[in-house]
Structure formats: structure tokens, C-alpha cells
Amino acid sequence: MKIPLERSQIVLLGVSCFAVVLCVAFGWWGLGGLVEVSNLGQEIADRKGKSEVADILGRPGGISEAKKEIAQLDQFYIGLGKQEESLIEPWRQATSEATGDGKDWAKDGNKWKDLLVTYNDEILKKSGKVGDMKKVTLAPSFYLGLEDFKQKSPSDDQVPKLATQLSVSKRLVDLLFASKEKTREGYPTACVLLKIQGPMGQEGGVSEGGKSKGKPSEKSDITRENYTLEFECSPEVLYAYITALTKDSWFFIPTNLSLENEKSTFPKRSELVGLFAPPQAAETASTESVRGSSNSVAPPLLLVLAGKEKLRVSLQVDFVGWKSIPNIKTEPKDKKP
């Protein structure tokens, strides 16, 4: 049954329907925008330690200011992520180089052995002969602390751990060579590298000298391996070497240092001139017949205080790396202060 409507009723009904639709539309858009802004304002308020958004949204221009602060926080987190990446990247790169990540020599025993021979030959070429005061000389039996593999190759199961030891041992030796060459010594002193011992001992087992006192737990994401070096050098070279270790891009931590003097007793006064006079002074003194001649050379008796006596050094160094090389992704919106 149809109910006839008058013209005025039809117009009123149409206007009412349009008003309802318009209210629903404005409510949907406006309410959604208000909820979004309120959420953003609440986030800002929570980060500032406030429990309500009234102080932010209630003041003139509060919504606009809230959006600006959110943008500033996003920029802050982006910058923080870049700083984190700049700190992690050298450490990550050093771990990749040390472990031979993705390289064949870090997987295959024969190729690892070839690299060991190559490294040892490089060190021998850079080293000096016995009595050389300008270069580091090596002990006759020195073989990067891997003497057990001088005549044989390791098994493939041993290679991953030996790969890191080979790289780190080579790095430690190179830093000592560089420290000796760059250091200006008060008195030229021989530098002799006696031995280096890493975490892998005889037959690929863990050596006593290779155990680190500060060993990370199994749940830790980092590894910490201990290396012990024994060498003789001047105090200047030792200082330069310790400095180089702490500034190197590889994460080295010197943990223990033991020093021993070359001589245990001070020489007699009558022996000082003969012990510490340079060769030309001794020859001049023996051939000089006239005392007080202008050609005579006074023996430098204080050279013993200038570092002519060698130090025997036993130095323990930890190499810190990652168990698995991390990939840093900057996602500032997901981070909370």
C-alpha cells in the first residue's frame, strides 16, 4: 500500500537523507584524522614522560607542532642508526677479513696451507738478518705459531678456526714490523720476534696460552680469542706497538704484559765504558796516544739510560669478533628511546 506524500514532505525527506550522508562522510574523514593526530600526539607525550595529550593538542598550533616533533624524532633515529652503522661497519669488516668469510682458503685445508706458506714467505722477506737494528728479526723456528702444520695440511673441520688464527697472527706480526720501521729509537736496538701462540695448539686443540680469562658466554654474539707474543725490543718500539694495537681497525685488546730486562745486575763502574761506548769511540781510545787530544771522543756513559738495553716482552692480546657477521638495518620508526 503506497502512502501519497505531499511535495513539502518529499523535499524534507530528501534534505534529511542528504544531511545524514554528509554527516557520515565528515564523521568518517574527520574522526579518522582526529584519531591519527591524537595517536601521534599521544606518542609524543609518552616519549616526553606525560600521560595525556591535552597539553600538546590543547594549545594553539599543538597538532602542527606535534607533527614537527615526530619528524624531528624520525630524523634523530635515522642519524642514530647511521652512527651505529659507522661504529659497527669497521668491526664487521675486520671480522669478515679475519674469518675469510666466503673465501675458499677458509673452507679447504689444502688452500689454507698454501696461504700459510705464502704468509710465512712474506714475513721472511720483510724480516732482517741477525744483528739488523732497523728491521724485526725472527727466531729460527718461527712459523706464525702454526708449526704443527708446517709439513701437513689440516682437516676441513679444523680450517674455520685455523683461518681466523692465521689471519690474526699475520696481522699482529705486521703491526710489530710496522711499529719497528716507523719508530725513532734513542739508541738502535735489535727487535727479535721469538714466538706467537694462538688459541689452536698442538693438532688443532685449544692451547693453555690461548684460553681467554674473559671468555664470552655461549649466548653471546661475539667471540674472544687470546694470543700470546714473545719478543725483544726497545721501550720505544714496545710503546709504538701497544699504541698500534689499540688504534687498529681490528678489535684488539691488550690484556696482560710482562717485561723482563736483558740484564739482571748493573755492570761494574769499570766496565761501563767498554760496555756502552760506540765502536768508533773504542777504536779512537785505543789508538789515541796523547791524552786530551782534539781527536779524542768521550764515551757516552749515559746510553744505558737511553734504552740500549733490550726488553724481553710477553704480551697477551685478545681479538674480539662476531660469531656471525651482522647486517645492520636502520628502521627509525620502530625504535623507542
Residue among 228, 223, 197, 208 at smallest CA distance from 317: 228
| Angstrom distance (rounded) from CA 200 to CA 210 | 7
pLDDT of residue 133 exceeding 60, the answer is yes
On whether the pTM is more than 0.75, the answer is: no
Q: Is residue 224 helix, strand or coil?
A: strand
Q: Tell me the mean pLDDT in the region 133-141.
A: 92
> In this model, does residue 138 exceed pLDDT 90?
yes
Report which residue type is found at 157.
Answer: D
Residues 6+ apart with CB under 8 A from 5: 13
- Distance of alpha carbon 16 from alpha carbon 64, whole angstroms: 35
How many Å apart are CA 4 and CA 294, to the nearest integer? 142
Q: Report pLDDT digits (tens) over 75-84.
A: 777 777 777 6
> Would you state the cell numbers that stand for residue 106, as one nine-digit string?
677458509
Do 129 and 175 contact (CB within 8 A), yes or no?
no
**Residue 216 vs residues 220, 321, 323: alpha-carbon distances, Å:** 6, 11, 11
236-269 per-position pLDDT tens digit: 999 999 999 999 989 999 999 998 887 666 667 6
**How far is Cα 288 from Cα 20, in angstroms, rounded to an integer?**
123
Beta bridge partners of 318: 226, 253
Q: Which of 121-135, 138-152, 279-293 has the lowest mean pLDDT?
A: 279-293
Mean pLDDT (the chain) is 74
**What's the number of CA atoms in the CB half-sphere (13 Å) around residue 167?**
23
Helix (H) or strand (E) holding 97: helix 62-99
| Positive or negative: CA dihedral 123, 126, 129, 134 | negative
Q: What are the helix (H) ranges across 100-218?
A: 109-126, 159-182
**C-alpha of 108 from chain center:** 27
Whether the per-residue pLDDT at 63 is higher than 80: the answer is no
pLDDT for 73 equals 79
